[in-house]
């Protein structure tokens, strides 16, 4: 496997992906701490544990491609290249936030980075993502829309309607099911009948597969396969990621629905640690090189924190702006 990957990515590129994963992890840890300190309010859904999914997909993305996801969106917007300080300032509800403090954790967008949110209503992003794909096809652009959807959301009706439309109209969209095994406190086998979730798309003629979403390399390979499939066949594709969130659903989750053992077992499979080990073993990257990257990210996160706390609250007249164009 290592060989195959090394054909496609230089060590420098691979280190870049690791850096992104590490950035997301440290960013989310900091967000959790700032929530604990009362600096972030409302709902705050952390992405810790699922970093390999978004980074693996990133390895297949063209900068013009579009992305849309749910409320668990911090990692996704960081992966799209938005400066973390604007993301953190959104979490603290400040003027310099990416949505000027008006959207918060669940509602972040960046047109410049082709990131279309940040949607709080379960399932809503899926037809929206199909609509992005519709626009790409309509304009004859060689772009792919990537839509992330949770395991819980996979039982929401509009998701099925979206699969049907995407296939019926041959739209360039990749559905990425982030099956982290729970939708809030409901294990996937208590919310979804049938076998694998991706089969809910395949019945509509969308080809797809299920893979290990805890491994960057596996995700990356599947993402590239999917991209090629979409280019060659002008048809949608679906990948179900077997993944896991280490933290609670939102910050105030009693987490009584799963055992500590289960969480610890999944932690032994940490996507960051496994990528780091592979980089050293299979790609002969020196540990120093990696720890240097880690140190600079940690330093960056301190600056991000400071920025997000020093940025002022939005001006009061912001309340009434941007309701209409």
Partner 1 sequence: MNILLPALSPTMEQGNLVKWLVKEGQQVNSGDILAEIETDKATMELDSPDDGIIQKIIVEEGTENIPVNSPIAVLKVEGEDEDSSSISIVEEKSTKNHANISNDIKSTSVSMSSIFNNQVADDKNWTEIEITMREALNNAIAEEMELDEDVFLLGEEVAEYDGAYKVTQGLLDKFGSKRVLDTPISEHGFTGLAIGAAMAGLKPICEFMTFNFSMQAIDQIINSAAKSLYMSGGEINVPIVFRGPNGAAARVAAQHSQCFVSWYSHIPGLIVVAPSNARDAKGLLKSSIRNPNPVIFLEHELLYKEKANVPSENDFLIPLGKANVINEGSDLTIIGFSMSVHRILSVLPEIQKLGLSPDIIDLRSIKPLDEECIYQSVKKTNRVVIVEDGWGNTSFGSHLSYLIQSNCFDYLDSEIIKVSGKDVPMPYAENLEALALPTKEEILSAVKKVTYKN
Ligand X SMILES: Cc1ncc(C[n+]2csc(CCOP(=O)(O)OP(=O)(O)O)c2C)c(N)n1
Q: Which residues bind partner 1 (CB under 8 A)?
A: 25-26, 29-30, 32-39, 41-43, 90, 93-94, 99, 101-107, 119-123, 152-153, 155-158, 183-186, 190-192, 248, 251-257, 298, 302, 305-306, 309-314, 316, 318-320, 323
Task: State the minimum distance, in angstroms, from the CB of residue 122 to partner 1.
Answer: 5
Q: Is 150 in the site for ligand X (CB under 6 A)?
A: yes
Query: Of all residues in this chain, which one has the CB nearest to Mg ion in the complex?
Result: 150
Task: State the minimum distance, in angstroms, from the CB of residue 218 to partner 1.
Answer: 24
Residue 37 or 325: the one with the smaller Cβ distance to partner 1 is 37
Q: If contact means CB under 5 to 8 A according to the sort of partner, which of partner 1, ligand X, Mg ion, none does residue 72 touch?
A: ligand X
Q: Look at residues 138, 173, 140 and name the one whose alpha carbon lies nearest to residue 159.
A: 173
Can you tell me the distance from the alpha carbon of 268 to that of 249, in angstroms, rounded to the nearest whole number?
A: 20
Can you tell me the distance from the alpha carbon of 191 to that of 182, in angstroms, rounded to the nearest whole number?
A: 9
Q: Is 118 in the site for ligand X (CB under 6 A)?
A: no
According to DSSP, residue 110 is labeled: B
Question: Residue 188, CB half-sphere, CA atoms under 13 Å: how many?
Answer: 20
Q: Can you read off the two tokens belonging to residue 24?
A: 């997301």
From residue 307, how far is each of 3, 46, 83, 108 by CA, in Å? Answer: 42, 20, 12, 18
CB 4 within 8 A of CB 61: no
Piece of 117-125, 168-176, 270-278, 288-296 that binds ligand X (CB under 6 A): 117-125
Q: Is 180 in the site for ligand X (CB under 6 A)?
A: yes
Q: Is 151 in the site for ligand X (CB under 6 A)?
A: yes
Q: Is 117 in the site for ligand X (CB under 6 A)?
A: no
CB proximity list for 50: less than 8 A, separation 6 or greater: 72, 75, 178, 180, 213, 241, 243, 244, 245, 271
Q: Is 122 in the site for ligand X (CB under 6 A)?
A: yes
Per CB under 6 A, the list member of 2, 135, 184, 295 interacting with ligand X is 184
Q: Is 34 in the site for ligand X (CB under 6 A)?
A: no
Look at residue 130 and give its three-state secondary structure. Answer: helix
CB 302 within 8 A of CB 83: no
Piece of 58-66, 81-89, 118-126, 314-322 that binds ligand X (CB under 6 A): 118-126
Per CB under 6 A, the list member of 1, 13, 95, 121 interacting with ligand X is 121
Residue 236 phi/psi, 5-degree rounding, is: -70, 170
- Interface residues with ligand X (CB under 6 A) are 72, 120-122, 150-153, 178, 180, 182-184, 249
């Amino acid at each position: 496997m290592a060989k195959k990957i090394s054909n496609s990515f230089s060590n420098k590129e691979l280190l870049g992906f690791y850096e992104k994963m590490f950035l997301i992890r440290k960013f989310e840890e900091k967000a959790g701490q700032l929530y604990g300190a009362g600096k972030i309010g409302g709902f705050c859904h952390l992405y810790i544990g699922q970093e390999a999914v978004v980074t693996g997909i990133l390895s297949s993305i063209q900068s013009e491609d579009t992305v849309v996801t749910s409320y668990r969106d911090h990692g996704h917007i960081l992966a799209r290249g938005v400066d973390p300080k604007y993301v953190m300032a959104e979490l603290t509800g400040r003027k310099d936030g990416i949505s000027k403090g008006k959207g918060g954790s669940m509602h972040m967008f960046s047109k410049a980075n082709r990131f279309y949110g940040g949607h709080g209503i379960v399932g809503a992003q899926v037809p929206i993502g199909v609509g992005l794909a519709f626009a790409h096809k309509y304009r004859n652009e060689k772009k792919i829309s990537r839509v992330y959807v949770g395991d819980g959301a996979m039982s929401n009706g509009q998701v099925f309607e979206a699969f049907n439309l995407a296939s019926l109209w041959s739209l360039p969209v990749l559905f990425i099911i982030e099956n982290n095994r729970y939708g809030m406190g409901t294990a996937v086998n208590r919310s979804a009948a049938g076998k694998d979730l991706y089969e809910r798309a395949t019945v509509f003629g969308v080809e797809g597969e299920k893979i290990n979403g805890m491994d960057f390399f596996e995700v990356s390979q599947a993402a590239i396969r999917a991209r090629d499939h979409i280019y060659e066949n002008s048809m949608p594709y679906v990948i179900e990621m077997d993944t896991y969130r280490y933290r609670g659903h939102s910050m105030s989750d009693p987490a009584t629905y799963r055992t500590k053992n289960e969480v610890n077992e999944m932690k032994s499979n940490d996507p960051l640690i496994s990528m780091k080990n592979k980089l050293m073993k299979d790609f002969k990257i020196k540990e120093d090189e990696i720890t240097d990257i880690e140190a600079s990210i940690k330093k960056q996160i301190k600056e991000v924190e400071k920025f997000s706390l020093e940025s002022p609250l939005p001006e009061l007249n912001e309340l009434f702006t941007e309701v209409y164009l």
